[in-house]
């Protein structure tokens, strides 16, 4: 593992963890972790993005997280239990594959690294709790708005959604059907809350109560 490979990993703990593994490169749309498999390794993303998702026997899925460079996937490999979700590449991804034994050695031999890893797990748990609460207590309109607002960035004096997401991708992230998301988008456009051009979503003004 070279310094060039680790260039986009800024967290010292993640750099240490990545340095324990070996490089793996994968094309887009590659599922490299399957829910239910035995967890025997962790991955530190060096470049590109991955989608963490869960699905049911009918093929319906919900996106739990989108992770990019510097983030760790599969760190629950410490307990050797089954994978709790599947992971698929969205772009060309380069990652460091860290075996279970190397991960355990890093945790037991470096208290500072162990604390960083614990902090990461706590942050992820908070994100998961917030997502579950949103699914339970919010309607689809509110969940779609929360997603768009969370992804919005300032550009050219306006607020746009940084990712060009399809309605199907949005439906997977908010736990709704594509048809329901389509209707929510129609309402938001009619309300003047959003504009869409070439899949680029612009937030125009706060929507009225739905």
Q: Which residue has the higher pLDDT, 62 or 135?
A: 62
Q: Per residue in 105-120, is it b (16+ CB within 10 Å) or e — as a string?
A: ebbeeeeebeebbeeb
48 has pLDDT over 90: yes
Question: What pLDDT score was predicted for residue 194?
Answer: 87
Q: What pLDDT, on the 0 to 100 scale, is given for residue 24?
A: 94
Alpha carbon distance 47, 96 (integer Å): 10
Backbone angles phi, psi at 84, to 5 degrees: -90, -10
User: Does the pLDDT value for residue 23 go beyond 90?
Assistant: yes
Mean pLDDT calculated for residue range 8-23: 85
Nearest of 164, 151, 176 to residue 63 by alpha carbon: 176
Residue 203 in contact with residue 161, Cβ under 8 Å? yes
Nearest to 48 by CA among 27, 29, 65, 68: 68
Q: Point out which residues pair with 195 in neighbouring strands.
A: 202
Chain segment 109-158, per-residue pLDDT in tens: 888 888 887 887 787 778 777 766 666 557 888 888 888 888 888 887 78
What is the structure's pLDDT at 92?
A: 95
pLDDT in tens, 153-201: 888 778 888 777 888 888 888 878 888 889 999 888 888 888 888 778 8
Domains and CATH numbers, the chain: 12-136 (2.60.120.10), 139-203 (1.10.10.10)
């Amino acid at each position: 593992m070279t310094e060039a490979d680790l260039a986009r990993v800024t967290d010292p703990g993640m750099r240490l963890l990545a340095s324990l593994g070996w490089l793996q490169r994968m094309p887009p749309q590659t599922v490299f972790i399957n829910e239910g498999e035995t967890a025997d390794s962790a991955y530190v993303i060096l470049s590109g993005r991955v989608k963490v998702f869960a699905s049911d026997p009918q093929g319906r899925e919900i996106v739990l997280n989108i992770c990019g460079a510097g983030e760790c996937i599969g760190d629950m490999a410490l307990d050797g239990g089954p994978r709790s979700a599947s992971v698929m590449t969205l772009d060309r991804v380069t990652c460091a594959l860290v075996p279970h034994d190397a991960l355990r050695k890093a945790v037991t031999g470096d208290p500072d690294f162990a604390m960083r890893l614990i902090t990461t797990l706590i942050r992820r748990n908070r994100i998961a709790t917030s997502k579950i609460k949103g699914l339970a207590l919010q309607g689809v309109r509110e969940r779609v708005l929360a997603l768009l607002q969370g992804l919005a960035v300032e550009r050219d004096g306006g607020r746009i959604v940084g990712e060009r997401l399809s309605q199907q991708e949005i439906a997977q992230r908010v736990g709704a059907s594509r048809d329901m998301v389509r209707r929510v988008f129609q309402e938001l456009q009619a309300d003047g809350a959003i504009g869409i051009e070439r899949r680029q979503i612009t937030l125009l003004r706060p929507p009225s109560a739905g």
